[in-house]
Amino acid sequence: MQGNNTRKEFEEITMQHVDSLYNMAVRMSMNKEDAEDLVQETYLKAYRFFDTFQRGTNVKAWLFKILRNTFINKYRKAISTPNEVLYEDIELLNSHISPNNEADAKESMDTLESRIESLDNVLEDDIKNAIDNLPVEYREAIIYSDIEELTYKDIAEITGVPIGTVKSRINRARSLLKKNLWNYAKERGFVKRGK
């Protein structure tokens, strides 16, 4: 059993990464409840083996490696497909604000804010969908690199592949994302279809 000092040290250096681990767990499991379980199990394993952690190395990479291995060992069979996102209800704002009626103005502003938020959610969903539709090895590499800002060396350690393979996967992932997001932009009318 580890002492209070060990628990305090563990919490100080690991708990700051819980959101990053959770976000990756959601992407891996495609399910929020499974992601919560995965993160909890990751932290339990990390605490249990905290004495093996080499101080001065990247704790975030160490936690991601535990998360990844836990997912592979326990959750691979439980992967579900992501929910389909519908975009058909998006419309332009065509309301008139009466300068003499504050209630109408507030209601119109609330409507405007809600529609802007809907548009933001659609754009965010397009980006998430583009990332989620990448092959798993590319998705994993791009998330570790561009979202979690881990080094090639850390990603290679987490995934168990050479640094050259990591670089190649990131490059391919970026190319696929560029293509997919361009297609999303054309479908949504952000760019002209002829381009």
Q: Say which CATH number the domain at 45 has.
A: 1.10.1740.10
Instruction: Tell me how far apart the alpha carbons of residues 81 and 94 are, in angstroms, rounded to a whole number.
Output: 37
Do 61 and 108 fall within a single domain? no
Using one digit for the tens of pLDDT, what is the confidence trace for 136-190? Answer: 899 989 989 988 889 999 999 999 999 999 999 999 999 998 888 887 777 767 6
User: Of 140, 129, 128, 125, which is closest to residue 172 (Cα–Cα)?
Assistant: 140
- 192 is a domain residue: no
Query: Please, what is the angle between helix 32-48 and helix 18-29, to 10°?
Result: 130
Do 74 and 141 fall within a single domain? no
Do 70 and 116 fall within a single domain? no
User: Of 22, 28, 137, 130, which is closest to residue 79 (Cα–Cα)?
Assistant: 28
For 58, residues 6+ apart whose C-beta sits below 8 A from its C-beta are 150, 151, 154
pTM of the complete model? 0.60
Low-confidence ranges of the chain (pLDDT < 70): 1-3, 75-124, 188, 190-195
Confidence (pLDDT) at 116: 44
Q: Return the residue matching tokens 């004495």.
A: 51
Domain extent, residue 8, equals: 4-78
